[in-house]
Structure 1
Amino acid sequence: MWLPMLGMTSLPVVGGLFGRYIVSKEVKTWYPTLKKPSWRPPNAAFGVVWTCLYTGMGYGSYLVWKELGGFTEDALVPLGLYGLQLSLNWAWIVIFFGAHKLKLALMEIVLLTGAVGATMVSWYPISQTATLLMAPYLTWLCLATSLNYCIWRDNREEKEE
């Protein structure tokens, strides 16, 4: 049972590493040109926070998968919602940092936050532990959504194409 646990726990982290490639270039060139609120976390915090969040959500997905006996019919909705929110998570990086589409990124992160909430609701009857592992992620997304909004609001004339 180690292989599924390691695979499911590391999947979001590995996906995040691909996104880091896009972010690392843009955080040195484009991102510094944006007006950002004074309360935003320092750039160095993001990598640490996302690694922890990705690991927690990945392990939570494993707990749900294990409780439901693998990829069964019962797992379709809870793991499907998880896959949807993970895809939306990775897509946000491309939209915001890759395409520089601040407004579209804002709309997408709102959808992502809703998908995380739906995932948590679907997970709760299966594993309260898995659901609690998603709570810091939902909290961080609320902060990230607020940050995305402020960046869009303060840069929409100069930076949005």
Structure 2
Amino acid sequence: PRLRGCSMWAYTVGFTVLPHVGGFLGWFLNRKEIPAWYEKLKKPSWCPSRRVFPVAWTMLYTGMGYASYLVWNDLGGCSSKAIVPLGLYGAQLRESPTVCVCVLQALVDILCLDGLAVGTLCSWYRINRVAALLLLPYLGWLAMATCLTIRIWRDNPEHKPGKSD
């Protein structure tokens, strides 16, 4: 059964805000570690400016959060039918803020995240197509980030295992 009234709005806001909370906590806990090693890396000219990231993630997290609400609502809440679709979503949200100390670890992490995000999209498509479509900007961002990570890994051999930092 679909929710109505005030409880619908509370759940909608809660689900939409949830990824922002995780993203903020991840940034806050790791804000001093990330720039130090990342800034030293050779990056391609098409690497987005650091100023783009907060804007991009705000939009992406809002769409993802609202989409998760749509799926949750269509499945009637936290039922057994919600375990896989929302479990995949939760797993990729957990993977997202990982701080990596080497480029290879970052590459492995983003490839895992890609798989979880595609799995989430596929599982949501059968439940709510609007929710699945709301994930497409996120998958586009991940595709760019994956290409960027591969390029950085390739162009920074001194940060590969077996090389001294």
TM-score by length of 1: 0.89
Change (3 A) 1:44 1:14: same
Q: Which residue of 2 aligns with 1:129?
A: 130
Larger radius of gyration between Structure 1 and Structure 2? 2
CA distance in 1 between partners of 2:28 and 2:160 (Å): 21
Once the two structures are superposed, the pairs formed by residues 71-150 of structure 1 within 5 Å of their partners are 71-91=78-98, 94-95=99-100, 100-150=101-151
Deviations 1:33-86 (A, max 9, x none): 111011111111011001110111011000000011100011111111111111
Letter in 1 for 2:154: R
What's the TM-score once normalised by structure 2's chain length?
0.87
Instruction: Give the secondary structure class of the aligned counterpart of 1:33.
Output: coil
Tell me the distance in 2 between the aligned counterparts of 1:28 and 1:83. 26
**Pairwise CA distance, 1:24:** 3.5
Unaligned runs of 5+ in 2: 1-7
Alignment identity in percent? 51
Q: Give the distance between the partners of 1:158 and 1:113, measured in 2 at CA.
A: 22
Tell me which residue corresponds to 1:151: 152
- SS in structure 1 opposite 2:131? helix
CA distance in 2 between partners of 1:27 and 1:111 (Å): 20
The whole-number CA distance in structure 2 between the counterparts of 1:81 and 1:28 is 29
Stretches of structure 1 that go unaligned for 5 or more consecutive residues are: none
